């Protein structure tokens, strides 16, 4: 297929673009490089440097869009909601308009666990209430609502994938954000000597060791789900799937695994809770397993951390 990957110079977008090319698809990456890196655009992809609001220039003859381009920092979204609403919702609505103008009727969308907010039960299923606790989650949920309406009224075919905690690396493609907020890359920065210690945001949560529990999924497994989703996109339907491993690990357990994998001591300093962090976020991925046949192949936290660490040592 001829595919447009928005945000394909970012962490997840570049891994998906690489897998699409390996599967024989023709890929154009559209990215404004506001947070992405041009050298992350996979070999074999055409690159267009532009904002999603200008996606029209890259839509001629395209069969489907995989849409990753977005602002994705929870804390920043609280401080600067306008940027998140304009970019994540406004930008996506412009993209959907441009798709209609160019007769492109299929989309796979990067949604997030942040659409659920503080969960009522664990593991979270797609039918559970969506009450985002920050603008980031709210903008992604708004796009999901728009996709449902466009599917019903305009015949759009859409699949939203709600990611839990994505980590690991795929070959040379790894996480490298200018502002790094995620746990695993921050812990590994201590092992590489870029940071002196890692902060543990709270040890008084109602969990066995008092630190927050999250569901870590390998970026390569996550990316594979996009290829399955692409095959499953059906005009007139919007499907939503959670994507996680179904197993939670605490912040303390993640740090311990990073110590084992890297052989470094990794000093940890206990800090305050980070506002807005739910105690436990674990996905039920039963729906995507049942309907699309997806299965995690590198589910072990050790493998996820080892791949992230391996990519760092190759950089």
Active-site amino acid positions: 136
d(CA 258, CA 274): 21
CB of 239 to ligand UFG, least distance (A): 20
By CB under 6 A, residue 124 contacts ligand UFG = no
Total site size for ligand UFG, rule CB under 6 A = 21
CB of 114 to ligand UFG, least distance (A): 3
Site for ligand UFG in 181-210 (CB under 6 A): 181-183, 186, 198-201
Judged by CB under 6 A, the stretch of 37-45, 106-114, 144-152, 259-267 that binds ligand UFG is 106-114
d(CA 212, CA 251): 6
d(CA 7, CA 4): 10
Give the nearer residue to ligand UFG in terms of CB position, either 150 or 216: 216
By CB under 6 A, residue 281 contacts ligand UFG = yes
Structure tokens at 240: 């939503």
d(CA 264, CA 261): 8
SS3 content of the chain, % helix, strand, coil (to 5): 40, 20, 40
Give the nearer residue to ligand UFG in terms of CB position, either 47 or 216: 216
Site for ligand UFG in 208-267 (CB under 6 A): 212, 214, 251
By CB under 6 A, residue 11 contacts ligand UFG = no
d(CA 201, CA 178): 20
Closest CA to 69 of 15, 30, 22, 108: 30
Residue 288's CB is within 10 A of a number of other CB atoms, namely 26
- Contacting positions for ligand UFG (CB under 6 A): 72, 74, 112-114, 136, 165, 181-183, 186, 198-201, 212, 214, 251, 274, 277, 281
């Amino acid at each position: 297929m001829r595919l447009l990957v928005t945000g394909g110079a970012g962490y997840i977008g570049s891994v998906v673009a690489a897998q699409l090319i390996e599967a024989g698809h023709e890929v154009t990456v559209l990215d404004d490089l506001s947070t992405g890196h041009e050298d992350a655009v996979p070999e074999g992809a055409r690159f267009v440097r532009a904002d999603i609001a200008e996606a029209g220039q890259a839509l001629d003859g395209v069969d489907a869009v995989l849409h990753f381009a977005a602002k994705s920092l929870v804390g920043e979204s609280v401080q600067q909601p306008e940027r998140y609403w304009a970019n994540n919702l406004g930008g996506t609505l412009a993209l959907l308009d441009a798709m209609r103008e160019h007769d492109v009727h299929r989309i796979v969308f990067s949604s997030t666990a942040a659409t659920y907010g503080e969960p009522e039960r664990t593991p979270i299923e797609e039918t559970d209430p969506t009450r985002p606790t920050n603008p980031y989650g709210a903008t992604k949920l708004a796009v999901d609502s728009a996709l449902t309406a466009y599917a019903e009224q305009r015949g759009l075919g859409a699949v939203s994938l709600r990611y839990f905690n994505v980590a690991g690396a795929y070959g040379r493609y790894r996480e490298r954000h200018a502002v790094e907020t995620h746990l695993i890359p921050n812990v590994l920065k201590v092992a590489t000597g870029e940071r002196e210690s890692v902060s543990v945001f709270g040890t008084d949560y109602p969990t066995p060791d008092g630190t927050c529990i999250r569901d870590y999924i390998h970026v390569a497994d996550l990316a594979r789900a996009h290829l399955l989703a692409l095959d499953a996109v059906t005009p007139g339907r919007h499907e939503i799937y959670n994507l996680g491993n179904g197993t939670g690990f605490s912040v303390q357990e993640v740090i311990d695994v990073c110590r084992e994998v890297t052989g470094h001591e990794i000093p940890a300093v206990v800090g305050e809770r980070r506002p807005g962090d739910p105690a436990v976020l674990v996905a039920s991925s039963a729906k995507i397993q049942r309907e699309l046949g997806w299965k995690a192949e590198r589910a072990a936290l050790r493998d996820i951390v080892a791949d992230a660490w391996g990519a760092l040592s190759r950089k």
